[in-house]
Structure 1
Amino acid sequence: MPAPVSDALAALVRSGMPGAQAVLYGPDGQRTATAGVGDLATGAPYADNAHFRIGSVTKTFVATVVLQLAAEGVIDLEAPIARYLPNVVAGNGNDGARITVHQLLQHTSGLADFAPEDPSHKLPQQLDQTSDGKAYRDLTPADVVAIAMSIPPQFEPGAKFQYTNTNYALLNLLIEHVTGRPLAAEIGSRILDPLALRETYIPSAGDTALRDPHAHGYRSVDGTWLDVTDTEVAWAGAAGAIVSTGADLSRFVAALLSGKLLPAAQLAQMEQTMPMSTSTEMEYGLGLIRFRMPCGADGKDVREVWGHAGGIPGFSTLAIATPKGTAASLSINTVETNGQFSTVATALACAIA
């Protein structure tokens, strides 16, 4: 493992994180490095091929399926979502006739988030984020979309970028509507099976444990790490429910960026980005983020990688790759990270780009 990556992982743990694991993947094989612990109770490190929740990296899997369906002529990215899901995006100023599939993929729909991060927003009781997730158990993608429809839109469709989980809950419904099959089945047959990603899965409702081997996920409560590994996440669906491993994630993004999952035209669409903020370091495509990372001693050697980051109770994740088939993944066993996350991300990007 390159020294900058190992050093960054060690600094991450010294900064207070329980543990972390990084995987580098490429034509020359795979390398894994860990720091800290995967289990605070036993002191055991992240196990090789440890399972963890990938959060919003799930969105890249989902966007890939949507773009495959677009390549097959099943979905028109510029069509309004109401063409496929009539009367679903409606009420309180929300209008599915004015929001395209493309806008959902790129988070420019203007729809409100069904689980907004703004603490001033009063959530429906069933989405109280202080719970352990069990209250979410019976919520379907249609349910969380209905919750979002109770909130007025944030802005006019297409006006700007605003990351919103509701967009991908709608893409979940879209995929299931046009294929007649569950999202997990489509991701399985279109991505997991062809790439032999046997350690990646979408948990069903009530499946709160992680498959072995796995890292334990933690949340800080009054300065103490609380184990939140067993958590209900099926409700997150297309927005963030997938469980994977560093090896599987790295192979997935390497395959995607090197053109093994999408025709060239659809991959090019996926890579048409817009700024996520005033910074140009990150730009959002269709379920895919372009990262520009400063490398070299003076930071002037800017390298470009593509992928996605994710956070869900217990875990923070990053998966990045280049068109030449090199890739990296990072798992940290808490969602409450700090600035050292970006330091490790930069080290990984500089190692593969």
Structure 2
Amino acid sequence: MLMTSRAVALAAAVGLVVAGTGVAGAAPDEDRIDRRVVQRVLDEMVRTGAQGVQVRIADGRREFTARAGTAEADSPEPVPVDGRFRIASITKTFVATVVLQLVDERRLELDAPVARYLPGLLAHGDGVTVRHLLQHTSGVPDYLAWLPDDAGTRPFTPGELVALIADEPLDFAPGTASGYSNTNYVLAGMLVERITGRPYGDAVTARILRPLGLRSTSLPGTRTQIPGPHARAYLRFDDQALDVTEYDPSFSWAAGEMISTTADLNRFLDALLDGRLVRPARLREMLTAVEGSGLGVSFYELSCGIPVWGHNGRILGYSSTVASSRDTGTRMTFAVSWAWDFGSVTGRQALMEEVFC
């Protein structure tokens, strides 16, 4: 049974094996990336609040994995390097890709108002375009702020999620500012269903998962369990650990319900940035950032100035990042299962700096 305070936590919410503190494989000086530094960062993540963490890094022709922590509390079993995890808002990149494919097919117009396709759903639907949704420039409020305390314990429909904010005023006039809102991608998922006449998950599966062979990626719907090997996750209340591995993720739907692995996410981002999923003109629009946000992707600013694209994910119990250089020569995906709230975990920026700089 999930605690009612979970809704608050939910609203706050992206080869060779190195295990524990040991390093295996080629000597660090043979690689541009120092694996000892990577391992130290992962160990620090565990020290500051992660139950376990896994990372997969591809650099040129080399690929390696590293991990720290354990798969379960009070157990010596290490985090599986091919483990599944809830990818949360990285789901948005899959959804945006499908929307842009429909734009390429001229079944949807990027600058058309949402009300053209979903009439009567939003009080301000005439002024919000499809592009505004994908780039978080719509001004539509984030429904997570109105999410009931029983989130995670029962199914939610996308209509119920949008209804939470349907009559609320916009946070700002569409196109005049940027404000992250999960409602944008619930609406994007509904657009996919309206245009295709099928569940949005069918479109993601047929257009992305199956062609790329992403066999470990799934859309759970109302299923509470994570299929396949995975690390368990916890959240602590008054120094008592609550297992938050299993819950109904339908409260996040097209904004964050998916489950995947580091290998699948690396492959997906490689295909996307390589131009194998959307046409070149659409990809250029996708990578045009407004305050760091493109159409379903984010731009990461690093100290070395190297442009890096990807997305973060954060949902109760799991946090993750997928990132790639524009030429896809260097890619990284890491996933954290919590022991405490992820807000206490440090090291994400240091890990990205080591990998890409």
TM-score by length of 2: 0.86
Moved >3 Å (runs of 4+): 338-341
How far off its partner does 1:82 sit?
0.7
> Paired residue for 1:60?
93
Cα distance, 1:235 vs structure 2? 2.8
Q: Does 1:321 align with 2:324?
A: yes
The answer on whether the counterparts of 2:320 and 2:336 sit within 8 Å (CA) in structure 1 is: yes
> Which of the residues 316, 336, 339 maps onto 2:341?
336
CA contact (8 A) 1:22 1:328 kept: yes
1:293 is aligned to 2:302: yes
The aligned residue for residue 120 of structure 1 is: none
1:105-143 superposed Cα distances (whole Å, 9 cap, x missing partner): 111111111112xxxxxx3xxx334x46113x1x21111
**Candidates 26, 36, 56, aligned match of 1:23:** 56
Please tell me whether the aligned partners of residues 172 and 238 of structure 1 are also in contact (alpha carbons under 8 angstroms): yes
Distance 1:323 1:258 in 2: 8
- CA shift for structure 1 position 29: 4.5
Question: Does structure 1 residue 167 correspond to structure 2 residue 184?
Answer: yes
**Aligned counterparts of 2:267 and 2:179: Cα–Cα separation in 1:** 29
2:232 alignment partner in structure 1: 216
Alignment of 1:264-275 (within 5 A): 264-275=280-291
Tell me the equivalent position of 1:257: 273
1:304 aligns to 2:307 (yes or no): yes
- Residues 257-281 of structure 1, C-alpha deviations (whole Å, 9 max, x = no match): 1222111111100011111xxxxxx
Corresponding residue of 1:45? 78
Correspondence for 1:128 among 133, 148, 151? 148
Matched, 1:33 2:73: no
User: Residue 310 of structure 2 aligns to a residue in which SS?
Assistant: strand
The 5-angstrom pairing of residues 78-89 of structure 1 reads 78-89=111-122
Cα distance, 1:79 vs structure 2:
0.3
Which residue pairs with 1:69 in the alignment? 102
Aligned-pair identity in percent equals 37
- Number of corresponding residues: 322
On the 8 A contact 1:64/1:262 being kept in 2, the answer is yes
1:114 matched to which residue of 2?
A: 143
Q: Which deviates more, 266-275 or 151-160?
A: 151-160
**Distance in 1 (alpha carbons) for counterparts of 2:130 and 2:313:** 22
- Alpha-carbon distance, 1:18 to partner: 1.4
* Amino acid corresponding to residue 134 of structure 1 in structure 2: T
1:227 lines up with 2:256 in the alignment: no
Question: After superposition, what is the alpha-carbon deviation per residue over 1:300-327, rounded to whole angstroms, capped at 9, x for unaligned?
Answer: x222210000111110111111232231
CA distance in structure 2 between the aligned counterparts of 1:197 and 1:288, rounded to whole angstroms: 19
> Are the counterparts in 1 of residues 132 and 175 from structure 2 also a CA contact under 8 Å?
yes
TM-score (norm 1): 0.87
- Secondary structure of the residue aligned to 1:290 is strand
2:49–2:344 Cα contact (<8 Å) kept: no
In structure 2, distance between residues paired with 1:273 and 1:173: 24
**What SS does structure 2 have at the residue aligned with 1:18?**
strand
2:162 is the counterpart of 1:145: yes
Q: Which runs of 5+ in 2 are unaligned?
A: 1-33
Equivalent AA in structure 1 for residue 341 of structure 2: E
Tell me, yes or no, if the aligned pair for 1:293 and 1:346 is still in contact at 8 Å: no
Aligned-pair CA distance for 1:340: 4.8
